[in-house]
Amino acid sequence: MLTRDILEHMSKVTIMPPEGIFKSYDIRGIYPHELNEEFAVPITKAIYKLLSEQLSKTEPLSIAVGRDMRLSSPVIFESVTKTLMELGAKVIDLGIASTPTFYYAVFSKKYDGGIQITASHNPKEYNGIKIVRSSPTGLVKIGKNTGMEDIKRMVREGVALVARGEGRIEKLEGILEAEIQNALKIVGYPEVKKYKIVADAANALGALYINALFKAIPGELVKMNFELDGTFPAHQADPLQKETLVDLQKRVKEEKADLGLAPDGDGDRLFFIDEKGEIIPPSLITALVAKELLTDKKGETILFDIRYILTPKKIVEEYGGKYEVTRVGHAFITEKMHQTGAIFAGESSSHYFFRETGNAESQIPMILFVLKVMTREGKPISEIINNLRKSHESGETNYKVKNALEIIEALKEKYKYGDISTLDGIAVTFEDWRFSVRTSNTEPLLRLNVEHIGKKDLEGRVNELVSEIEKHAVFENLPK
């Protein structure tokens, strides 16, 4: 039988969100049992305390809050903003906004910080929270190395904050239009021909900035799945899953379009499709933009992640720039941009970052750069990209294994005569090929990527690595 003391104690216990929702880059979980409007209260208090401490501020903070179109986002938004106002914050309501627009608002308006309610490319049952704060060198994303562990600890232990009840909320208007003007400035107010562009927005936030951009520049925009719908009726908003690109690839060819665009759920990733319906590797888009920037600004630093480096490295060297290779993950890349003062960074998962957007992702200038080069060179994008290509890439092979670190050690011994990097897992470079094997930051996976100067030799190297991994692997299930 439960005593009165036990019952009173149970009535005071607050059910805490599971610790597993605090990820390397953001907070993310399934609604409502992993993340909901109740859990958002202690999380918001922890975020507010962290930002106050990191900014060394005792006065109320200015916090911008945006959200995506998921069905659970309005109630989480209401909980977050109500909690912030109770703490005395000035809350800036961005409404439904892409993550790049959210970043640009915090950076350009110099707010103390920001909270974006989104689960990015995850399926409809998920939701999440992304967090940034301002700094003298741009935005700092709150991740594993910049405060996420502190937020998790504070949520677990409880946060002692005095509710001031003096906060207020106001709407911010016109920020998307300002973001487009900033992108045009970054690209040098380019001359752009009227190309035919097919875009599949996956019923998600990329529709907002693509639609707005093509009101500001010439172009015939063919829209696919542009109606915002948090149930994602067409397909999951994750262009890394190649099956989600099939309809877009087909439509580009049917329309005889010049280019295809595929943003992810919150719009901070963007894949490009050439006029033949082929997916353009993000490392080649990175190389294209690096070339454009370095043509005018020699000596600047370009960043790219460890997975595929041969093409961007060669282009940066040819055009008088400096480069650094980073760990995989947008929080790590942003951190490295602060450290190096890099002008631009490109990630193999199609995140692209600019110093002039606060070291945050921005996809509008990426579209403009591609259209600018197409206009100037008068060639199809496939030919432009092929002229930049210095290597061929395998695409990623993923394994669910129980002994990832053991496999990495075995590969280190097997390939000890190469140039070995342990920046992120293991990457080994030889004269004409290289590979990267690393554990995922977001999933229980071991990831293999291979690149080779010669296309015909790539498959052999992939098969070699696959055999070596499988020889040592203890599988949780079969590779996918």
- The rounded distance, in Å, linking the Cα atoms of 422 and 407 is 14
Identify the CATH number of the domain defined by range 393-472.
Answer: 3.30.310.50
In this predicted structure, what is the pLDDT of residue 2?
42
The reported pLDDT for the residue numbered 11 is 36
Give ranges for CATH 3.40.120.10 in the chain.
4-173, 177-273, 282-370
Q: What does the buried/exposed string (b/e) look like for 131-141 if buried means 16 or more CB atoms within 10 Å of the residue's CB?
A: bbbbeeebbbb
CA angle 435, 439, 442 (to 5 degrees): 130
Instruction: Decide: 366 and 270 in contact? Cβ < 8 Å.
Output: yes
Amino acid 409: pLDDT: 96
Using only C-alpha atoms, what is the Rg of the chain? 23
**Can you tell me the distance from the alpha carbon of 479 to that of 387, in angstroms, rounded to the nearest whole number?**
34
**Options 120, 134, 350, 362, the catalytic residue:** 120
pLDDT per residue as tens digits for the range 244-282: 999 999 999 999 999 999 999 999 999 999 999 999 999
**For residues 364 and 183, is the Cβ–Cβ distance under 8 A?**
yes
Q: What is the CATH number assigned to the segment(s) 4-173? A: 3.40.120.10
CA 140 to CA 318: how far, in whole Å? 31
**pLDDT tens figures, 293-303:** 999 999 999 99
**What tokens were used for 404?**
């990832």
Say if strands 113-117 and 138-141 run parallel, antiparallel, or are unpaired: unpaired
pLDDT of residue 477: 60
Number of neighbouring beta carbons within 10 Å of residue 338 = 16
Which residues on neighbouring strands pair with residue 447, listed in sequence order? 398, 438
Q: Distance between CA 412 and CA 415 in Å, rounded? A: 5
| Token pair belonging to 463 | 């098969």
How many angstroms from the chain centroid is the CA of residue 397? 20
User: Tokens 């709407």 correspond to what residue?
Assistant: 171
- Rounded-to-integer distance, Cα 340 and Cα 337, Å: 5
Q: Are 72 and 32 in contact (CB under 8 A)?
A: yes
Question: Contact 62/90 with Cβ under 8 angstroms?
Answer: yes
**CATH value of 177-273 in 3.40.50.720, 3.40.120.10, 3.40.190.10, 3.40.50.1970:** 3.40.120.10
What are the percentages of helix, strand and coil residues in the chain, rounded to 5? 40, 20, 40
Token couple for 333:
């890349």
- Cβ 259 vs Cβ 381: under 8 Å: yes
Q: What is the pLDDT of residue 368?
A: 98
Q: Which two tokens stand for residue 147?
A: 């405060």
Neighbours of 474 (CB within 10 A): 10
Domain with CATH 3.30.310.50 in the chain: 393-472
Which residues, including other chains, have CB under 8 Å from residue 11's CB and lie 6 or more apart?
none
Place of tokens 């942003």: 334
Q: Is residue 54 classed as helix, strand or coil in its secondary structure?
A: helix
Would you call 120 a catalytic residue per the annotation? yes
Burial of 2 (0-12, 13-18, 19+ CB in 10 A): exposed
pLDDT of residue 16: 85
What is the tens place of the pLDDT at every residue in 2-16? 444 433 433 334 578
Backbone dihedral angles phi then psi of residue 83, each to the nearest 5 degrees:
-65, -45
CATH number of 282-370: 3.40.120.10
What parts of the chain have a pLDDT lower than 70? 1-14, 477-480
